[in-house]
Amino acid sequence: MPLTLAAPVHSELIIKKSRFIGCVQPMADRASAQKVVAALWDEHPGARHVCWALLAGGQSAAVDDGEPNGTAGRPMLDVLRHQDLEGVLATVVRYFGGVKLGAGGLVRAYTDAVAQALLQAEKVPIVRLATLRCVVPYAMEGLLRRELEAVGASLLAVAHGQAVELCFSLPEDAAAALHARLAELGQGRIEWLAMQDDAV
């Protein structure tokens, strides 16, 4: 099961007078990652490089930001991959200390900065959600709400018309059991609707 991180975690290394400030954090997509990187440049205007790696489905990235090709972004991405992470951004801000580290030294430095941060990070399983929609008579609304609460489902939208339409989400692995239980309790009075692209 893929894991993500509960919260951002930082690390800091000094290697031959160069300062490497690492961070690993949960991240949904590339656009969000680029905003974080831009903010790091604002926060560290004196830095020489802000290298980063992102594992987020089809939006993964490995950016060397001026370091020799393949010495920063790719090694950082490899660390994330080896730990079976998903939806995670790793960044390393480097302040150059005047001593060149060589390709091997750079790979080790960027790898270590990410690995050190990950040692302190809390890893949590990624829970895939299913979203369901149904229509019930007014008399069944309370029952349905209690059943949703009992399984930890999140109520996303409720519309009151001739009947009550509810849209809710819950972990994918619990959806089939809830569907079966509600079918039994509803005795044919629950109408399930197809999800629309523009649904809540």
Each of the 200 residues of the chain gets a pLDDT tens digit; together they read: 678 888 999 999 999 999 999 999 999 889 999 999 999 999 999 999 999 999 987 788 999 999 999 999 999 999 999 988 989 999 999 999 899 999 999 999 999 999 999 999 989 888 778 888 989 999 999 999 998 888 888 888 899 989 999 999 888 878 888 888 888 888 888 888 876 543 33
Angle 48-49-50 from CA coordinates, rounded to 5°: 140
Query: Distance between CA atoms of 23 and 93, rounded to whole angstroms?
Result: 9
- The predicted pLDDT at position 198 comes to 39
60, 46 Cβ separation under 8 angstroms = no
- The predicted pLDDT at position 50 comes to 96
Other beta carbons within 10 Å of 127:
12
- The predicted pLDDT at position 89 comes to 95
- The predicted pLDDT at position 200 comes to 33
Q: Which amino acid is at 99?
A: V
Token readout for 125 is 């399983």
Query: Distance between CA atoms of 60 and 157, rounded to whole angstroms?
Result: 32
